[in-house]
Amino acid sequence: MSSNIDQPSAAPSSTTQPHFGVATWLIAAILIFAALYYANAIFAPVVCALFIIALVWPLQKRLQATMPKLLALAIVLLATIIVFLVFGSLISWGFGRVGRSLIAEADRFQAIYEQTATWLEGHGIMIAGLWAENLDVRWLMRVLQGITTHLNTTVTFWLVVLIYLLLGLLEVDELTEKIRHLKNQEAARVLIEGSRSIAEKFRHYMLIRTAMSIATGAFVWALAAAAGLQFAKEWGVIAFALNFIPFIGPFIATMFPTLFALAQFEWWQSAVLVFICLNIIQFVIGSYIEPRVAGRALAISPFLVLFSVFFWTYLWGFFGAFIGVPITIALLTLCAQHPSTVWVSDLFGAPVETPEG
């Protein structure tokens, strides 16, 4: 009797255990995402500093092998600051010039957009009302002012990043030794090999992204100049800067010159032609040249790239849009280091090559 009574009581615990595990992981994920969202002022600078450390560590290591460590650190920090200042100055110059022109001629631009919307409605294009309501001069001014305001409020952010960068570069060697002496050697292997692979992929990613951004900016500049569009240099600089943000950046870099072309030429066919040419540039460089130059090491599911951009934009705003793809690359790289999670990397990483024929 006792065995018959005791035996059924063991079954529910075994069946409910997997459900308990899934629920625990789900709750943990929700708590982590909530912490990342509400404490973005704390986590975002740390992630940015780690990303920069991965980029500049080879330079730091090479310099400190031939000179005192603090002197090498000072050179690396100075080089990083110069890059920040040059990049920020280019963005401020490009958006500032376009923004001032937009404000100065806002009434004329608004009248042209309203006339175009009326013409579209007269030809039965029902989307014209939505277009006139959202993609007008007021929308452009809000976007430009938002970008300018964000640039002005990032000084504190970058100061915190530089502090983390300074402390992080000082502790890389010591932290590496601590990881090597962990009792769990499998965990040590995953951390060391995973970190090394992540750093290499980050450097490769930024090298490819920078080269493609320069190419995009140059072609947009040439197209705008050939079309006689005002602010050709500025459009090239804006396209260069925004190309660092997948999907969202190229979309904005395409819409701005198109709307200005409509206002300048006052002929919708010219604006459509500019729009088509800009999209051809973005498609050829972003969808054809860049994947072939980057190779399989940085290949990620397009769905996951788009999800990463929007997800991290929601969590961390403009910086999240930029860092979303590198974070995804890092997570997939870590997953590839352990047999229990390698399926995640296989599923969302490089596409499987099928033999021809």
- Note the pLDDT of residue 72: 93
Q: Which residue has the higher pLDDT, 9 or 211?
A: 211
- Alpha-carbon distance of 109 to 88, in angstroms, equals 28
What mean pLDDT is reported for the chain?
A: 81
- Alpha-carbon distance of 260 to 233, in angstroms, equals 14
E strand or H helix at 225, and its extent?
Answer: helix 185-227
**Could you give the count of Cα atoms lying within 13 Å of 223 in the half-sphere of its Cβ?**
26
Lowest mean pLDDT among 291-300, 322-331, 337-346: 291-300
Most confident of the ranges 53-57, 180-184, 286-290, 331-335: 53-57
Per-residue confidence band for 70, with pLDDT thresholds at 50, 70 and 90:
very high
- Please compute the mean of the pLDDT values over residues 171-192 and round it to a whole number: 89
Q: Residue 159: is its pLDDT beyond 60?
A: yes
Lowest mean pLDDT among 17-21, 71-75, 214-218, 324-328: 17-21
Most confident of the ranges 48-62, 242-256, 273-287: 48-62
Q: Residue 269: is its pLDDT beyond 90?
A: no
- Note the pLDDT of residue 355: 43
**Residue type at position 66:** T
- Alpha-carbon distance of 94 to 228, in angstroms, equals 17
- Note the pLDDT of residue 203: 94
| 346: CB partners within 8 A, 6+ apart | 336
- Note the pLDDT of residue 220: 94
Q: Tally the residues of the chain.
A: 357
Measured between alpha carbons, how far is residue 172 from residues 56, 69, 189, 193, 290 in Å?
Answer: 12, 12, 16, 14, 32
DSSP state of 349: S
